[in-house]
Amino acid sequence: MEWYQNLDKPFLNPPDSIFMPVWSVLYILITMSFIFFIKSKKELPEKKPLIFFFTQLILNFLWPVVFFGIKNISMAFIVICFIWIFIILTIIAFYRYSKLAAALLLPYWGWVSFALYLNFMFLKLNE
């Protein structure tokens, strides 16, 4: 974490203590969204929403590896752009099955939008 502590940080960068509680709530909402989506159909849902959902989830787990592990801010920015896109695709796909499943992903999309801004600012401030 020394590398991260030495970075120039954006003005709106929240304190480190905020991230764990926020992500805990978001992962609960993401899980609930998936459950409502799965329960919205009696038969197995089509593959596209599942592909979108699991793609954004895998990218979500990849981002900290790229940002904190590999310490590649520009690659992390590319990853978070794809996360943002796949969250939107998931919301749209889930909406066809369950408005609640889609709505439960909106806070996640909002937080990732903020994180995208932060990642961009880290990139600009630490070129």
**pLDDT tens by residue, 63-87:** 999 999 999 999 999 999 999 999 9
pLDDT digits (tens, 9 = 90+) for 98-113: 999 999 999 999 999 9
Domain-located, residue 86: yes
Domain-located, residue 45: no
pLDDT of residue 44: 65
User: What's the burial of 38, exposed, middle or buried (CB within 10 Å: 0-12/13-18/19+)?
Assistant: middle
DSSP per-residue letters across 62-101 = HHHIIIIIS--HHHHHHHHHHHHHHHHHHHHHHHTT-HHH
Backbone φ and ψ of 15, nearest 5° = -65, 150
Domain-located, residue 34: no
Q: Which residue shows structure tokens 């991260």?
A: 4
Domain-located, residue 118: yes
Residue range of the domain that includes 117: 55-127
Domain-located, residue 80: yes
Domain count, the chain: 1
pLDDT, mean of residues 11-35: 95
Predicted TM-score (pTM) above 0.85: yes
